[in-house]
Amino acid sequence: MAELVDALASGASIRKDVEVRVLFWAPDIYPTTSLFGCKRAENLALIFHACFWIYPPMPPKLGPTGGMRGGIDSNIPPFHEKRCPQMSLTVAEIKAFKPSAKPSKKADGKGLYLEVFPSGSKLWRWKYRIAGKEKRLALGAWPEISLAKARELRDTARQQLAEGIDPSLERKKAKATAQFDAANTFFEIASEYIEKKMIGEGRAKGTLKKARWFLDLLAPAIGKMPITDVDPQMLLAALRKLEAKGNYETAKKCRSFASRVFRYAIWTGRGQHDPASALRGALVTPKAKHYAAILDPAKLGEFLRMVDGYEGHLVTKFALQIAPHIFVRPGELRHAEWDEFDFDAAIWRIPAGKMKARRPHSVPLSKQVLSLFVELRDVAEDNGYVFPSFYTFKRPMSENTVNQAFRRMGLAKDEVTAHGFRATASTLLNESGKWNPDAIERALAHGDSDAVRGAYSRGNYWDERVKMAQWWSDYLDRLKKGGEVVSFGAAKNG
């Protein structure tokens, strides 16, 4: 191939300074012959706007030293298609390109070109048209993007264009999706769920602490993944690691927590499915473990005497003495605050945020319990937490404080636990036959399985609960004094 850009010299009636290219086949050409042949009017192919205006055939001629020279055949590409053939770039040419004062473009073919900047950098770009508008698509820098790779990217973009897809717009969508996914990982959405959903609903501090712990356990496996990419098998693999350590209950709770996070992502328009729901039944069901509790009245009396002889921290001793009487959950007792108590009415009103069921709960205080609280208030701070930490009044006592006190008293964890007082009260109050089972359930802050029944019966047992609280404290005092213990079952039969 050879090319000459010049004005016509034949004297034909054609504008000056118009780009003229002469294209001919010449397997054996000398420069002088080429130039001579190119300047002949009958051998010219005139181009306006990349289309052949005229392309008179140029038959091959016999050269002075033999062989056929020159020639244009209008029946072969690119001449019969009335388009200008393009010279493709080579790696050697790309390396040889030198920067100039202004950016320059070096065409490769099919809209692909290399833009050489004054700084020396060379960037691949692809020019195309869509909906009547000319656009450009950046394909990367050379040599990071090789010539072959640039052509591959161009061809991919051309295929998109052929399918009616704007490659530039598609790239912007992909970039936005990647940024969206990066900002919506499982860890980020789970953290948002805790901060906005759980804290917003007033969940107890202990509940929030456990949620963050579950997130910490899941984070190494799926924390950095876009939440839409997490599938059931990925989540299951993370849960299996917990099961492998024997933490079956923890694995189940992590699955439940993850399910809540996935549902939150769906509600906020960032998730599509809940892979955790597909894992129901996939995990090992641990054997139910009941909290150790003292159910024998004689042993309960002995325990109460041991508590009165406890020589540890004074605040801890008050917690040990009060807990059996009111049988609230350990966390509810630890987080008790003085402004929740009405000593004139003998009521402790626990706000919904501290309750497991997220409903406020009122606890009637017997004379014995009221006396213990008043005594504790006189020897401790009368604001903030009733049972503060050893180190600061700004935090409640540790969740292990009461159980550690039991261990120091010589009681094993399979004999008594802080949570076990609820089972003790429930068992002995029901065995007494004196109280409506619904009243006992209300005292334990258990919800009714029948929502309508629960709504209508909530206030009906308060008077009975007040009497029951006083009877229970009196009963514990009798057991502590070592009086005659009568089995409730035996009493009924007699």
Residues with a known catalytic role: 329, 356, 419, 422, 446, 456
Q: How many CA atoms lie within 13 A of 210 on its CB side?
A: 15
Q: Dihedral of the CA atoms 216, 221, 227, 228 (nearest 10)?
A: -160
H/E stretch holding 46 reads strand 45-48
Helix axes 420-432, 314-326, angle to 10 degrees: 40
Structure tokens at 133: 């508008």
Contact 431, 297 (CB under 8 A): no
Compute and round to an integer the Cα radius of gyration of the chain.
Answer: 44
141: phi then psi, degrees, rounded to nearest 5: -100, 145
The burial of 370, by beta-carbon neighbours within 10 Å (0-12 exposed, 13-18 middle, 19 or more buried), is given as middle
Q: Dihedral of the CA atoms 448, 274, 240, 223 (nearest 10)?
A: -110
Torsion sign, CA atoms 14, 19, 24, 28: positive
Closest of 206, 200, 203, 234 to residue 220, by C-alpha = 234
- Whether the upstream peptide bond of residue 99 has omega within 30° of 0, thus cis, is no
Contact 124, 142 (CB under 8 A): yes
> Which residues does 253 contact at the CB level (< 8 Å), separation at least 6?
210, 214
Question: Can you tell me whether residue 295 is helix, strand or coil?
Answer: coil
364 CB neighbour count, 10 Å cutoff = 21
Taking the C-alpha atoms of residue 475 and residue 435, their distance in angstroms, rounded to an integer, is: 14
Strand partners, 122: 116, 142
Taking the C-alpha atoms of residue 465 and residue 329, their distance in angstroms, rounded to an integer, is: 17
Question: Can you tell me whether residue 385 is helix, strand or coil?
Answer: strand
